[in-house]
Amino acid sequence: MFTGIVTDVGRIRSLEKRGDVRFVIGTAYEALSIDIGASIACSGCCLTVVERGHDKDGNWFAVDVSAESLDCTTLGQWTNGTRINLERALKAGDELGGHIVSGHVDGVARIVDIRPDGASRRFVFEAPEALGRFIAAKGSVTLDGTSLTVNEVEDVPAAGAGVRRTRFGVNIIPHTQAVTTWGMANAGDPVNLEIDMLARYVARLVQKD
């Protein structure tokens, strides 16, 4: 489990296709403090550490990613040099600064607009149709591993008769932009989306047969 509070911005150092794809990720985390088999959220996707070490370029760890994860997340678009948000797994007694995050990505959203809003930046995202009903104003979402609060939600027409898309906005403060990948984001970028776990279970409870 995670909280959506990013603690490092890592960098893809290499990738190798070997059935699954192995990514080697450079990090500020001390390599010897990372256990083999540990879980690390990589831009919101919970991945298992299979190797770790330190060399002239710094600390690193490696993860294997299945074809399913590559297809259902933004991980299939990672290349050498890609910057990613990192968070280590929550430990008993740790401060819960964001919200409970599983690291199981539900789908890929897309940034449709970015504009200044005071000292912050207002991001507008478009969510996959099937996930729109789980997103609510003042609720939480996890985007690329970052716990964020939804400001507003609206349904907008999309291509196809009777089809609607959900757009929602969040404000990202200067500090968050500086310590995550959000300061490098652009309109059109895809992002990993995990809906709030509570919203998922509430929807299930009220679902009609």
Q: Which two tokens stand for residue 100?
A: 């409970």
Asked if domains 8-88 and 107-206 share a fold, the reply is yes
CA dihedral sign of residues 36, 22, 146, 194 = negative
Average pLDDT of the segment spanning 128-154: 94
Q: Which of 33-42, 81-90, 94-103 has the lowest mean pLDDT?
A: 94-103
Please state the domain extents for the chain: 8-88, 107-206
Q: Is residue 208 over pLDDT 70?
A: no
Alpha-carbon distance of 152 to 31, in angstroms, equals: 41
Q: What mean pLDDT, rounded, does the chain reach?
A: 92
Q: Which CATH class is domain 8-88?
A: mainly beta
pLDDT digits (tens, 9 = 90+) for 96-107: 777 889 999 999
- For the chain, the residue count is 209
Yes or no: domain 107-206 corresponds to CATH 2.40.30.20: yes
Q: Is residue 148 over pLDDT 90?
A: yes
Helix (H) or strand (E) holding 72: helix 67-72
Q: Is residue 190 over pLDDT 90?
A: yes
Average pLDDT of the segment spanning 8-22: 94
pLDDT of amino acid 102 = 93
Alpha-carbon distance of 166 to 127, in angstroms, equals: 6
**Number of neighbours of residue 198 by Cβ within 10 angstroms:** 13
Residue where the block lists tokens 């996890």: 142
Q: How confident is the model at residue 92 (pLDDT cuts 50, 70, 90)?
A: confident
CA angle 164, 170, 175 (to 5 degrees): 155
Q: How confident is the model at residue 177 (pLDDT cuts 50, 70, 90)?
A: very high
pLDDT of amino acid 95 = 77
Pairing of the two strands 8-18 and 83-88: antiparallel
